[in-house]
Copies of this chain bind each other. A is one copy, B any other.
Amino acid sequence: VTQRYKMTVAYDGTHYAGWQVQPGERTIQSELERAAHQISGEIVRIHCSGRTDSGVHARAQVTHFDLDAPLETRRLARGLNALLDSDIRVTSLTGAAPDFDARRSATGKQYRYFLWDGAVLPPHVRLYRTHVLKRLELEAMQDAAGRLMGRNDFSAFAANPNREVPSTTRTLSQLQVSRKGHEVTIVAESEGFLYKMVRSLAGFLIRVGEGEVSPEAAGAILDSRERTARVPTAPPQGLFLWKVFY
């Protein structure tokens, strides 16, 4: 009988063309599927909670997949980690109910976006932080974040508006901005995000922190429901898929 598995993976997205299998590209999905095939001999399709773009990282991406001939989870996890490069790690692997779906069963997600606003970006965090050259005004960012939270149409904070989604209304249940030294962290939580929504929110909050836009602009931009140059997409390397809720 077919066995379904729930697998949590962490990855450094630096050297990958994102999650999804693409011909001729090295992707997280293709690496995981190749390793799962090597161990099981089966053609394994691995489904994630939500695709991450090229260069985006994950602390805890959740996935599911099936095996026709079940394998013991501990051995399977160890085997996968032995076959994968050290920039992708299986952090947890358990059996799951046949109807568990990494994407559809998820009730929410948390992303974190990390900024560095010191003059010099330390080499050891350079792959995981977005460097901002101006000292960010934290209070202005927090003010703007407060105006974006709640149930809103986030069309103005999504890319590819031509992508067909039934609705662009989402509940942004958390959008927190905090500072520790030169590291500024944005924590965003929602039951679901639009395409490039977190990087768009981060891009806008950076402009606010730089003093380029006033926090009050948030409301008008939301109301416009139109993506314009006022909302830049922040670069991928600062973004981590942090947690998926079920």
Contacts and interface: CB of A to CB of B under 8 A. Distances in A.
Interface in A1-52: 10-12
A222 interface: no
Interface in A54-102: 57, 59, 81, 86-91
A151 interface: no
A172 B87 CA distance: 36
B123 A88 contact: yes
Summarize A's interface: helix, strand, loop or mixed: mixed
Contacts of A81: 120
A116 to B, nearest CB: 12
Nearest to A123: B12
A122 B128 CA distance: 13
Contact of A124 (B90, B123, B128): B128
A88 B122 CA distance: 8
Contacts of A59: 122, 124
A26 to B, nearest CB: 15
B122 A10 contact: yes
Interface in A113-134: 120-124, 126-128
A28 to B, nearest CB: 11
15 contacts: A10-B120, A10-B122, A10-B124, A11-B123, A12-B124, A59-B122, A59-B124, A81-B120, A87-B123, A87-B126, A88-B123, A89-B120, A89-B122, A90-B120, A91-B120
